[in-house]
Structure formats: C-alpha cells, structure tokens
Amino acid sequence: MVGGDYLHHIFKGNDIREHFPELVGAYHALLPLVSIVTCSKTLISPYPESDINIKAYPKGGGTIGGHYDTNAITVLIYLTTNSEAPLELEIPKSHPSKDIDWIENENIYASSGSMLLMKGREVWHRSKPTEKEEKFVVIFNYYVEGDTWRPDKFDAFVYNGSKVD
C-alpha cells in the first residue's frame, strides 16, 4: 500500500540551511554512525531540497499516508513528545532458521530528542493522524554508494506541487 492522506507542512533543505544551520552540522556528523549501523558506504543526499527536512503535523488531522521512501536510509529525529499519532511501520523480517519471511508491525510514539534510523525504501511507514497535539520531526535523507536514484520530477511534485506525468 502506497499513498494516502497528506496534511503536514514541510520545511525544505534550503529553509533548514537558512534557519537551522545546526541541523546541517548534525546531518553531516551522523554520516559515519549511519554508515556503521547500516554496514554501508552512506552518502549525503545529492538532492538539496530533500536532504534535510522538518515535517510539522498540525492538530486536527496532521498526517502522511503510507509510503516507502525514495532514499535508501532515513533518520528521524523527534522534536516533540506525542501521546497520539504514532509512526506506523511494517518491517520486513527474515531469519535462516525460518522457512518464510514475515512482516512485523510496530507503532512508535514520538519522544522529544529520540532518533529512529530505518531503511526507508524497505520499510513501509506512515504517520497516523494527530488529533489534539502537534508533531514535529526532523528528517535526514541519506543514500548509499552506487545508488542515488530518485524518481524524475519527484521533488517538483513534493516541494512545488507540480503534476507528475
């Protein structure tokens, strides 16, 4: 399942560089740690609008529908603590001792200052709607060596509202 409701505000990479330069420092400083945890040669994003974002989910239905990310690795840093609107995940699992693969479902509630690292292209996820609380999340998008693919015109669609053919 991909898509769904979208009600949030996005602060793009250029907004972050202008108003939150400390997040740019954190994005670059996390690169070695992300490489170690993911056992990959991790790269910063070559796409300046989407390398670092903040998503602000307003009260009364702030959400993002179910999707897979276009980048290989996503780091979320929660700026708020929320008792509602968890991040819902469907995590693919496998183990050599089992004959089948399976999906593990998780709901993660935002806790200010906590960080989640995931393989964004492999883990289906969505933010369930807010009701009475606002939720703010910093998103760091990373790629891996040899794979900086991103769909054509994707950023124009997400950040500028352009139609995708």
pLDDT in tens, 111-126: 999 999 999 999 999 9
Give the span between the Cα atoms of 154 and 152, in whole angstroms. Answer: 5
Q: How far is residue 125 from each of residues 29, 30, 83, 97, 163, measured CA to CA in Å?
A: 26, 22, 18, 27, 23
Q: Could you list the pLDDT tens digit for every one of the 165 residues in the chain?
A: 345 588 999 999 999 999 999 999 999 999 999 999 999 999 999 999 999 999 999 999 999 999 999 999 999 999 999 999 999 999 999 999 999 999 999 999 999 999 999 999 999 999 999 999 999 999 999 999 999 998 787 777 777 776 766
Q: What are phi and psi of 74, to 5 degrees?
A: -125, 135
Sequence-separated contacts (24+) of 6-9 with Cβ below 8 Å: 6/63, 6/64, 6/65, 7/57, 7/58, 7/61, 7/62, 7/63, 7/129, 8/55, 8/56, 8/57, 8/58, 8/62, 8/63, 8/64, 8/127, 9/55, 9/56, 9/58
Give the span between the Cα atoms of 117 and 147, in whole angstroms. Answer: 18
The CATH classification number of 3-92+100-142 equals 2.60.120.620
Amino acid identity, residue 61? Answer: G
Q: To the nearest whole percent, how much of the chain has pLDDT over 70?
A: 94
Query: In degrees to the nearest 10, what's the CA dihedral of 151, 58, 28, 31?
Result: -70
Per-domain residue ranges of the chain:
3-92+100-142
